[in-house]
Amino acid sequence: MAKPFQFAFLLALAIEKREEAARLISVALSRQQQMQERLNQVEQYREEYRLRLTDTATRGMRVHQWNDFQLFLAKLDTAVEQQVMELQRSDAQVEAAKQAWLEREKEVKAFETLHERHNAREGRREGKREQNLSDESASNIHRRGSQQ
């Protein structure tokens, strides 16, 4: 009878960890997409506001209006910079999640290799056992035939 694979529990655990790492990649990618969309929105709003400033400036504006536009544009520039940093952080999180998944994948592959070797060894052992039984049976048949 074949021996059970002694690391079956560890293989199952490694597979669970790999699946969790894959889920974390999905979460990180979703966050990255959200950060990109927010950045696009802020950049679009900043561009629209600049166009409004240009349009208003061509029709004439007071100094305090100009200053207000400039202050608000500076705030929008800061918001864009902050969103770029958020996007960079989310990019790093995606990369870290991918690296973690690769580590879990290596672990699973190592246990799967051990499992395959175990199965091959058990198959050879079972084959030898069957060959011995077959040889013994043939020997018994031959011995009975020669005794008659």
User: What confidence tens digit (pLDDT) does each residue in 2-42 have?
Assistant: 788 899 999 999 999 999 999 999 999 999 999 999 999 99
131-147 residue pLDDT tens: 888 878 877 777 777 76
Class of domain 12-113: mainly alpha
Domain locations along the chain: 12-113
Residue 148: what pLDDT? 62
Number of helices and strands in the chain (H, E): 2, 0
Q: Could you give the 3-state DSSP secondary structure of residue 91?
A: helix
pTM listed for this prediction: 0.75
Q: Which two tokens stand for residue 130?
A: 């069957």
Of the chain, the percentage scoring pLDDT greater than 90 comes to 70
The residues near 84 (Cβ < 8 Å, ≥ 6 apart) are 39
